[in-house]
C-alpha cells in the first residue's frame, strides 16, 4: 500500500510537520522519542484524530484533504491499541 501524507498538527506545547511519500513495497517503521508524535500520526491515519490541515492519500484513495476527512469507518485500516484502556 502506498502512502502520501502531508500533515500539520499543533497543540499547546507541541508542533509536528510531516511530508512523506512511502512506496507500496517494503517495510516502513515509525520511531522516535516519547512525545515526538508517533501515536498522533497513526491516529490521524486511522481517522481517530483528524488534523486541522492534512492531505492523506492511500493507494490513490483520498482519506483527508485539507479539513475534509473520510469517515473512520470507511477507511480500510486496522488499528491495535497499545493499552487496553480504550473505554477507560
Q: Residue 86 pLDDT > 60, yes or no? A: no
Burial class (CB in 10 A: 0-12, 13-18, 19+), 28: exposed
Backbone dihedral region of 10: left (phi > 0), alpha (psi from -120 to 50 degrees) or beta?
beta
Distance CA 49, CA 59 (A): 21
| Per-residue pLDDT, 87 | 59
Domain boundaries, the chain: 3-74
Distance CA 59, CA 2 (A): 5
Grid cell 492519500 in the structure block, residue: 57
**How far out from the chain centre does Cα 68 lie?**
14
Tell me the pLDDT tens digit for each residue of 5-60.
Answer: 999 988 888 888 999 999 888 888 889 999 888 888 988 888 888 788 899 999 88
Amino acid at each position: 500500500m502506498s502512502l502520501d501524507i502531508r500533515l500539520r498538527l499543533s497543540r499547546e506545547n507541541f508542533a509536528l510537520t510531516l511530508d512523506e511519500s512511502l512506496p507500496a513495497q517494503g517495510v516502513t517503521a515509525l520511531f522516535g522519542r516519547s512525545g515526538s508524535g508517533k501515536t498522533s500520526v497513526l491516529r490521524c491515519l486511522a481517522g481517530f484524530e483528524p488534523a486541522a490541515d492534512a492531505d492523506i492519500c492511500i493507494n490513490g484513495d483520498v482519506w483527508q484533504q485539507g479539513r475534509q476527512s473520510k469517515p473512520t469507518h470507511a477507511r480500510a485500516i486496522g488499528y491495535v491499541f497499545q493499552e487496553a484502556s480504550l473505554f477507560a
